[in-house]
């Protein structure tokens, strides 16, 4: 048996599946694809998470498209974080160019041109379904970790939430939370100390400053009503294809705090909402997080611990998380160890630091008799990648340098007119894009303050009135009535007696 035949058997045995799978492409030997040596991802292992890494321009975005559109074909909904704005083309069919046809002939797959059902979403002012969440849904623990509060400040945050819960003051947006923090240190200080203990003004001041920082990154658009319901991510179209929900995040690239806040809240909501799932053989939802380093770069230790916990636990809900970034080292080791699928595109060795990163990256992959991993990492072309996945029994598959198939959809962005066409047809726009500003903690606390001030003013006026009456009453009791004074005077009495004497004569 020739080396090529041995390699073909090695790959086909290593990637054999009994159930449904997504074909990514064909394995390569000595830089050339081996036709029909398919590299596949079993559908049942998509909830085991994954990593898509590689230098700029090596094809990471196209890999996201391939995975997303084939999951959609299987009826599995997808959620994409589109940081760069280049994923929207998945809504339109691609063009069968000559280079695509040649590539698919080498792989051994026919090429199909097809778009997927897409829902465009946003957490900013961009076109799309508006995603929001209330402050109450975050809760004091998650919000404290996002704001990187210390233990004392976290305790203050818990008191704020408890006070608002006890008094039925809804915390919906950031102005509600800000008002509650101001109230417990000013007008409501005595009430809070009596019921919950003393609150440090320094702690509330620090929390307020961190809230301002979050607001400056645009979080006031994200917090509020109407809250997005996770069930609306799970839709399929009339052909049984899962919707690809694309969250447009191109205008928040420079606001990592907002991005990480949104991502963590969304994952927490997905975890809390979805039921536990047994071994059904297919995921319920697959989430692709592009530019994943934005989550981890400025994350606190507490926030990283929260992310790690969610990555570990959310798998049992049938949800797969896929992080897309340039280097595997962008992802913390605790999270990286949870990722079953690894797609590594080419890396470039321009500096000593780059060469060190390549060496570290190569150590993350299984040893292979067919590849010098570090050497292959720098020689891969665009649309090629080193791949290893988990098979249906949960074991790592052989490392395969793979020529990836082309996306079925357009490998470019949608025009403004095409985006408008999608949003005009959306049924979720009507549900979520209406601004709701019902009475909440801000209005209720303001009214409470006004009522207290009114009562205090009335009490003060009453006291002033009583003082005036007391002074008036004192002066009246010491002064003789003028009429009485005249009637009781000696002159008046002598006059009266004089008249009576004359009358008696």
pLDDT in tens, 244-268: 999 988 877 677 777 777 888 888 8
Q: Are residues 140 and 211 in the same domain?
A: yes
pLDDT at 68: 96
Quote the crossing angle between the two packed helices 174-185 and 135-146, to the nearest 10°. 70
Helix (H, G, I), strand (E, B) or coil at 37: strand
From residue 437, alpha-carbon distances to 113, 134, 173, 226, 339 in Å are: 45, 11, 9, 9, 41
pLDDT at 479: 55
Q: Are residues 382 and 356 in the same domain?
A: yes
Q: What does 318-358 look like in DSSP terms, one character per residue?
A: TEEEEEEES-GGGS-HHHHTT--EEEE------SHHHHHHH
| 377 occurs within a structural domain | yes
Q: Are residues 208 and 237 in the same domain?
A: no
Q: Are residues 102 and 149 in the same domain?
A: no
Beta strands, E only, 341-441 = 341-344, 384-388, 400-404
pTM of the model: 0.82
Q: Which residues of 183-204 are buried (b: 16+ CB within 10 A; e: fewer)?
A: bbbeebeeebeeebeebeeebb
Residue 170 structural domain: 135-221+439-448
Task: Quote the tokens at residue 415.
Answer: 């025009």
pLDDT digit string, tens, across residues 141-163: 888 888 888 989 999 999 999 98
Contact 277, 318 (CB under 8 A): yes
- For the four alpha carbons of 118, 123, 124 and 129, in that order, the dihedral sign comes to positive
- Strongest mean pLDDT among 33-37, 93-97, 461-465: 33-37
Measure the CA–CA gap between 103 and 107, rounded to whole angstroms: 6
Contacts of 74 (CB under 8 A, 6+ apart): 20, 22, 43, 242, 282
* Alpha carbons within 13 A on the beta-carbon side of 359: 6
User: Could you tell me which of 142, 47, 39 has the C-alpha nearest to residue 399?
Assistant: 39
Q: Are residues 280 and 404 in the same domain?
A: yes
Q: Are residues 247 and 290 in the same domain?
A: yes
Q: Are residues 247 and 181 in the same domain?
A: no
Of 384, 403, 432, the last residue of a domain is 432
pLDDT digit string, tens, across residues 342-365: 999 999 877 878 788 888 888 888
Domain count, the chain: 2
């Amino acid at each position: 048996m020739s080396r090529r035949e041995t390699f073909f058997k090695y790959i086909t045995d290593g990637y054999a599946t009994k159930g449904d799978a997504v074909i990514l492409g064909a394995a390569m030997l000595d830089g050339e694809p081996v036709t029909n040596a398919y590299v596949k991802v079993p559908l049942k292992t998509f909830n085991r998470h994954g990593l898509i890494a590689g230098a700029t321009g090596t094809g990471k975005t196209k890999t996201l498209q391939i995975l997303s559109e084939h999951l959609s074909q299987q009826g599995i909904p997808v959620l994409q974080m589109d940081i760069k704005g280049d994923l929207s083309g998945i809504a339109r069919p691609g063009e069968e160019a000559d280079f695509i046809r040649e590539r698919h002939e080498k792989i051994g797959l026919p090429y199909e041109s097809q778009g997927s059902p897409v829902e465009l979403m946003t957490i900013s002012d961009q076109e799309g379904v508006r995603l929001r969440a209330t402050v109450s849904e975050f809760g004091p623990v998650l919000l404290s970790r996002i704001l990187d509060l210390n233990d004392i400040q976290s305790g203050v945050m818990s008191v704020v939430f408890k006070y608002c819960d006890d008094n039925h003051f809804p915390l919906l947006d950031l102005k509600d939370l800000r008002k509650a923090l101001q109230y417990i240190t000013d007008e409501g200080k005595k009430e809070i100390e009596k019921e919950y203990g003393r609150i440090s003004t320094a702690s509330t001041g620090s929390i307020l400053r961190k809230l301002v920082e979050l607001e400056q990154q645009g979080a006031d658009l994200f917090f509020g009503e109407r809250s997005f319901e996770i069930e609306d991510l799970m839709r399929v179209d009339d052909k049984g294809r899962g919707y690809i929900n694309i969250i447009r995040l191109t205008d928040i690239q420079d606001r990592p705090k907002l991005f990480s806040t949104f991502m963590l809240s969304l994952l927490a909501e997905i975890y809390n909402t979805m039921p536990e799932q047994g071994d059904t053989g297919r995921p319920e939802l697959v989430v692709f997080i592009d530019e994943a380093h934005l989550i981890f770069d400025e994350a606190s230790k507490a926030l990283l611990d929260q992310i790690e916990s969610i990555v570990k636990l959310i798998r049992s809900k049938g949800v797969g998380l896929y992080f897309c970034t340039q280097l595997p080292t962008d992802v913390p080791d605790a999270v990286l160890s949870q990722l079953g699928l690894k797609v590594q595109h080419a890396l470039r060795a321009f500096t000593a630091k780059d060469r060190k990163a390549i060496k570290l990256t190569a150590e993350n992959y299984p040893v292979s008799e067919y590849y010098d991993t570090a050497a292959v990492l720098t020689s891969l072309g665009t649309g090629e990648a080193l791949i290893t996945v988990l098979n249906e029994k949960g074991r790592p598959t052989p490392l395969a340098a793979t020529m990836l198939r082309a996306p079925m959809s357009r490998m470019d962005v949608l025009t403004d007119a095409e985006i408008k066409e999608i949003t005009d047809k959306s049924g979720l726009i009507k549900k979520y894009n209406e601004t709701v500003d019902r009475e909440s903690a801000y209005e209720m606390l303001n009214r409470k303050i006004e009522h207290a001030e009114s009562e205090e003013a009335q009490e003060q006026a009453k006291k002033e009135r009583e003082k005036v009456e007391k002074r008036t009453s004192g002066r009246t009791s010491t002064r003789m009535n003028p009429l009485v004074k005249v009637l009781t005077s000696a002159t008046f009495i002598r006059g009266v007696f004089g008249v009576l004497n004359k009358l008696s004569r």
